[in-house]
Homo-oligomer: A and B are copies of this chain.
Amino acid sequence: MLPLRALCRNGPSIARRLPGVQLARFSSSGSNVIVAVDDKTGVATMQLNKKPVNSLNLEMLTDICINLEKLEKTAKGIILTSAVPNIFSAGLDILEMYQPKPERLPEFWKMVQEMWIKLYGCQLPVIAAINGHSPAGGCLMSICADYRIMAQGNYTIGLNETKLGIVAPTWFKDTFVNTVGHRVAEGALQQGTLFSSEQALKVGLVDELVPMDQVQARAETQMKSWLKVPGTARATTKSMMRQETIDKLLKKRQEDIDMHVVFITSPPVQKMMGIYMENLQKKSAK
């Protein structure tokens, strides 16, 4: 690892706008998100660090958003990766959705949207260094990047929502279609396919595979190539490719929140989540 410096002096002012939000503590192993910036290159590495599986709850999503907002002003590129062994992120935290507090659920969903808007629309080049499993929301974060490097081995990636009896939001779908095309997206979203890393490479869900211990180094090398391109032209081009997809959500953001609150709190979905959690507890009890 190259020498790093802590980031985010303007953190508190942003956090104040998000009431009830835990501040990310940078370069601290106790934090949900560890951010470090290479002094020489300006490249930030943002490590997801919420054990055991980097589940995305309201606080975690807020930390990610705060850091993205800061880095967009201060860094030159972002490598998105995990500090938790063998897991990139397990996706949205089911505890936010199972028997949720009525006033918290819309806030949670708004922050899921916010994370997607900020990450997919990030003006910096973002490279996902996928160093472990990456289902559901973990896959979403990966496909928000500009380039995906995944660890070889028994790791999986995909939008597997249907397997749990739920449906990926339309904007997860749009991002996925933009990445793998309509036919592959349609089959995989219906079946809730978790692709092995080799399959993911084949369908274009990731761009390259390297051994686990080379994922970070390879991401840094790849980032160098992106940073050779004049930044304003590159960022404008990125907007040209993605803003239309982002605008689709922005135009119906509250509607999307309302719809997901109704869907998540509906008895059949709550029941399925209950069964799912029971199974999880049985597994962990073994």
Pick the interface stretch among A24-32, A44-52, A80-88, A237-245. Answer: A237-245
User: Which residues on the B side are within 8 Å of A226 (C-beta)?
Assistant: 190-191
Instruction: Tell me, yes or no, whether A261 is within 8 Å of chain B by CB.
Output: no
Instruction: Tell me, yes or no, whether A64 is within 8 Å of chain B by CB.
Output: no
The listed residue (B190, B207, B272) touching A238 by CB distance below 8 A is B190
Instruction: Tell me, yes or no, whether A250 is within 8 Å of chain B by CB.
Output: no
A125 touches B230 (CB 8 A): no
Copies in the complex: 3
Interface residues of A (CB under 8 A from B): 125, 146-147, 161-168, 170, 173, 177-183, 185-187, 189-192, 204, 207, 225-226, 229-230, 232-234, 236-238, 240-242, 268, 272
| CB of A193 to closest CB in B, whole Å | 10
| Chain B: CB-nearest residue to A125 | B190
A168 touches B230 (CB 8 A): no
User: Which residues on the B side are within 8 Å of A189 (C-beta)?
Assistant: 237, 240-241
Given A167-B236, A168-B240, A181-B181, 15 other A-B residues pairs in contact with their CB atoms under 8 A: A146-B186, A162-B234, A162-B237, A165-B233, A167-B240, A170-B240, A178-B186, A189-B237, A190-B226, A190-B234, A190-B237, A190-B241, A191-B225, A192-B229, A232-B268
